[in-house]
């Protein structure tokens, strides 16, 4: 038996497959399962192994482009093209696939034939990356190899292969995708107390100024394990893109409160600097003495400069953590916009979170300066 060189054979010369298998981990699997979050972002890897051959069963080595042209995934039960929220790609996106983090239940194991460990030397392997949108149902997937519309092969016995040798079902194999809906995380899953209050940590230099900084650490967990994060923003993620927009709040305390005002800042997971777009959150521009005239004041304090002066960086960055900081002051101040006009306080906001598995989460953030309490929910 000879193996054709690239100069003498191509996809058009393929007359049969002598080996064809879809699997998760090893070609010996015939009917495996794989778990996936149905969020439209996360992808699970599914492999297809095959040996293409000419009419005399001489193996033909195909190029990567020829394999991509000929191969596609189909539904195992009826041989139809992927749809119903399913998509496949030869390209892997940035979202993490960790099967142990996905809380899907395995069905009862289906009987399969004895595994075949004697793999052919000429096997070629292609990896598909499969995603499923929210609301999709778990389905078993098969593979289809098409030379022409009239000559094709599948790993689904429900499809009548066209190669004409009465070998339907010879390559019977599948991978069942077990789907889990995106998880809901409560405030306590982010490390808050049962009432939503998060304990803060004073950071930076607070000895020579009338203001200081406190960082609050949101450490989300999924099934009790630290949840890796992608990004945060004021708007929900669209199409797997990072959440857009900055967010923030600024509020006053009561007349006799130790904290007379608070202005928030934040960082993206793992970053060591605060997001400038949210420090301060427009229209807030500056803080001035209560008695200052209603125009630009030469004695104004600017939140980002105050942050740089007393702390200058995120003290506790971590890729599994969202850091919310609050600048706090013990002298009464007014909030002003860029024109010097008074700005009404904003005591809370909404934060959208995209985790590394492609799931969206939403948290409300609020700060009570009079009680010096930061709450999430």
Residue 167 confidence (pLDDT): 47
**DSSP 3-state of 273:** coil
Tell me the CATH architecture of domain 11-180.
Sandwich (2.60)
Domain ranges of the chain: 11-180, 187-376
Residue 295 confidence (pLDDT): 62
Residue 298 confidence (pLDDT): 66
pLDDT tens column, 8-35 = 689 999 999 999 999 998 887 889 999 9
Are the CB atoms for 17 and 171 separated by under 8 Å?
yes
Q: Which DSSP state fits 4?
A: B
Residue 112 confidence (pLDDT): 44
Residue 166 confidence (pLDDT): 41
Residue 111 confidence (pLDDT): 42
CA distances to 251, 296, 298, 331 from 289, rounded to whole Å, are: 15, 12, 11, 8
Residue 26 confidence (pLDDT): 84
**Terminal CA-to-CA distance of the chain, rounded, Å?**
68
Query: Phi, psi at residue 361, to the nearest 5°?
Result: -135, 150
Low-confidence ranges of the chain (pLDDT < 50): 6, 108-114, 164-167
Residue tagged 């990567």 (tokens): 64
Query: Phi, psi at residue 207, to the nearest 5°?
Result: -90, -25
Q: Which DSSP state fits 163?
A: S
């Amino acid at each position: 038996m000879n193996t054709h060189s690239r100069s003498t054979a191509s996809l058009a010369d393929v007359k049969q497959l002598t080996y064809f298998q879809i699997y998760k981990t090893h070609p010996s699997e015939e009917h495996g399962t794989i778990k996936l979050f149905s969020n439209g972002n996360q992808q699970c890897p599914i492999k297809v192994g095959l040996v293409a051959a000419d009419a005399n069963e001489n193996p033909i080595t195909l190029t990567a482009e020829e394999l991509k042209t000929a191969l596609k995934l189909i539904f195992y039960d009826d041989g139809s093209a992927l749809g119903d929220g399913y998509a496949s790609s030869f390209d892997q996106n940035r979202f993490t696939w960790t099967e142990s983090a996905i809380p899907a239940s395995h069905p009862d194991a289906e009987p399969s034939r004895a595994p075949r460990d004697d793999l052919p030397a000429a096997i070629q392997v292609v990896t598909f990356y499969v995603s499923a949108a929210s609301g999709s149902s778990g389905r078993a997937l098969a593979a289809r190899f098409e030379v022409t519309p009239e000559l094709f092969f599948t790993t689904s016995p429900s499809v009548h292969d066209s190669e004409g040798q009465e070998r339907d079902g010879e390559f019977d194999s599948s991978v069942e995708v077990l789907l889990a809906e995106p998880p809901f995380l409560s405030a306590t899953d982010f490390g808050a107390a049962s009432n939503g209050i998060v304990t803060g940590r004073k950071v930076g230099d607070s000895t020579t100024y009338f203001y200081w900084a406190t960082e609050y650490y949101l450490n989300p967990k999924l099934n009790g394990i630290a949840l890796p994060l992608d990004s945060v923003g004021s708007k929900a993620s669209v199409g797997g893109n990072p959440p857009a927009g900055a967010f923030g709040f600024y509020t006053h305390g009561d007349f006799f409160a130790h904290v007379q005002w608070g202005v928030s800042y934040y960082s993206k997971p793992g970053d060591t600097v605060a997001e400038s777009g949210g420090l301060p959150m427009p229209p807030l521009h500056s803080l001035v003495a209560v008695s200052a005239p209603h125009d630009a004041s030469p004695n104004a304090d600017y939140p980002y400069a105050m942050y740089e002066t007393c702390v200058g960086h995120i003290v506790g960055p971590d890729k599994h953590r969202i850091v919310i900081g609050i600048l706090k002051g013990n002298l009464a101040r007014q909030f002003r916009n860029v024109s010097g006009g008074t700005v009404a306080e904003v005591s809370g906001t909404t934060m959208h979170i995209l985790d590394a598995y492609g799931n969206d989460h939403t948290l409300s953030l609020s700060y009570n300066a009079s009680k010096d309490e930061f709450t999430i929910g």
